[in-house]
Amino acid sequence: MSFYENRILPYLLEATMSGEEMVALRKATLAEVAGEVLEIGFGTGLNLPHYPAAVSRLTIVDPNEGGLRFVQRRIGAAPFEVKTQVLSGENLPMAAESFDCVVSTFTLCTIPDVTKAMGEIWRVLRANGRFHFVEHGLSNEPQVQKWQHRLTPLQKLVAGGCHLNRNMRELVTAQFAKVEMREGYWQEGGKLAGYLYQGVAQKACYRPFLLSLLLPLLTTLFTLSNLLAFSLSTA
């Protein structure tokens, strides 16, 4: 982590990511989060005051420990246990199926190997667990997209690796089959960084579906074997 990313960027995040509209977005994204929760990319902990009481324990990870001094100030006010870990979203040490919800707010734009991180998010979620996200990314306007592609190298330099041009819909739907997502501009972000993708993705649980196939089959086999036994005994 460079001096800029570790010492200066956290102050810039605090200043630019805590406006009124941003707070409303955070609250809306976190409203249904519950149980054992993992947040990828804690930044300076700006989400901490907005988690609902239904959260039982929160684990927050980020490879940049520069934001921790801000996080520490906010942890005290949280009504649940908060565990901080300085590590990357691409290589989570947590066991598979250990969280009810995973949260990412404005982080998928920055993770270098974001496809790998999406795989990790899916892996650590329990069956029927939910991924709650709000992310900025590729606009739906071709003219804006052109500038997002052109300016991403500069954005990466000044904003700690942030890409303006990631297609968040493609990223999320490539990993999750069940996704509710809305897209559109938010006012505070401008055209280049203001196209948002917000929603919830669910890790599908196939067990009820398999059971619904297996039960009629087992019932038929049971009835047939009874009929066979009855006809043999009366023969």
Nearer to ligand SAM, 117 or 224 (CB): 117
Nearer to ligand SAM, 90 or 143 (CB): 90
Q: At what angle do helices 68-75 and 9-16 cross, to 10 degrees?
A: 50
Backbone angles phi, psi at 96, to 5 degrees: -60, 150
CB 85 within 8 A of CB 61: yes
Residue 182 C-beta: closest distance to ligand SAM, Å:
18
Question: Does residue 107 touch ligand SAM according to CB under 6 A?
Answer: yes
Choices 84-92, 137-145, 172-180, 195-203; region in contact with ligand SAM by CB under 6 A = 84-92
Nearer to ligand SAM, 67 or 189 (CB): 67
- Residue numbers 139-178 binding ligand SAM by CB under 6 A: 160-162
CB 163 within 8 A of CB 113: no
CB 192 within 8 A of CB 144: yes
How far the first Cα of the chain sits from its last, in Å, is: 83
Question: Does residue 13 touch ligand SAM according to CB under 6 A?
Answer: yes
Nearest Cα residue to 84 out of 48, 131, 133, 53: 48
Choices 40-48, 146-154, 175-183, 192-200; region in contact with ligand SAM by CB under 6 A = 40-48
Position among 89, 137, 189, 199 found at the interface with ligand SAM (CB under 6 A)? 89
Position among 38, 40, 55, 196 found at the interface with ligand SAM (CB under 6 A)? 40
With helix as H, strand as E and coil as C, how does 151-183 read? HHHHHHHHCCCCCCCCCHHHHHHHHCCEEEEEE
Q: Residues interacting with ligand SAM, by CB under 6 A?
A: 13, 17, 40-41, 43, 46-47, 62-64, 67, 88-90, 105-107, 110-112, 160-162
